[in-house]
Amino acid sequence: MKQMNLKFTWVGIVLCLLSFFQLQSCKGKNKDADINAAIQAKTQTDATFAGVNATVADGVVTLTGQCNDDNCKTNAENTVKDIDGVKSVVNNITVVPVAIAPDNTLNSGVERVTARYPGVTADVNDGTITLRGQIKRDSLQQLMMDLNALNPKKVENQLVIK
């Protein structure tokens, strides 16, 4: 009889422990699920986050996927950081680079454009078009329009405007 009692006690203890651990892990999962739901709610309304995915493990959010620009990446991180229960954010989002024309394409385009603007010279270096020389103010806008359409990284305007 005494032995039986002891056995039951052991079983009882083991059951208690098991249920305790289960509750604990359940609690962690719930928290992560809550965070996940909060992320979904916050990001689904914003189209800029369409390419971003989030996974949550023990309060650590890992962001993956693609963003169109730097803002989107930092915004996504800040949005998630503020959610209750988030311990930290791992931001693995990649920013899809803007398509910049290669230098040889830019060069031929720039040559074609500047041929129409006597007095204007232009260099192309790593996607950046640098303008030198002089131009009439009336022609500046059209020149800039033409150059901006070539998909440069940027246009440095060092022209003297007459």
Partner 1 sequence: MALRAKYQQLIDAANQSGVTNLEVREQNNVLYIDGQAPSEEVKKNLWDLYNKIDPDYRAGDLVLNVNVFGTSNTTAEQEYTVVSGDNLSKIGKMYGVSWNEIYEINKDKIKDPDLIQPGWKLKIPTK
Residues of this chain, 81-100, that bind partner 1 according to CB under 8 A? 95, 97-98
Closer residue to partner 1, CB minimum distance, 9 or 69 = 69
Smallest separation (angstroms) from partner 1 to the CB of 121? 15
Question: Rounded distance, CA 21 to CA 107, Å?
Answer: 67
Whole-Å CA distances, 153 to 67, 93, 126, 156: 18, 22, 8, 10
| Spatial contact of 68 and 96, defined as CB atoms under 8 Å apart | yes
Closer residue to partner 1, CB minimum distance, 62 or 66 = 66
Question: Which of 10, 121, 149, 162 forms a contact with partner 1 (CB under 8 A)?
Answer: 149
Secondary structure (3-state) at 20: helix
- Using CB under 8 A as the binding criterion, the count of chain residues that bind partner 1 stands at 32
Q: Tell the burial category of 129 from Cβ atoms under 10 Å away from its Cβ (0-12, 13-18, 19+).
A: buried
- Per CB under 8 A, residues contacting partner 1 are 68-71, 74, 95, 97-98, 108-109, 111-113, 115-116, 137, 140-141, 144-146, 148-157, 161
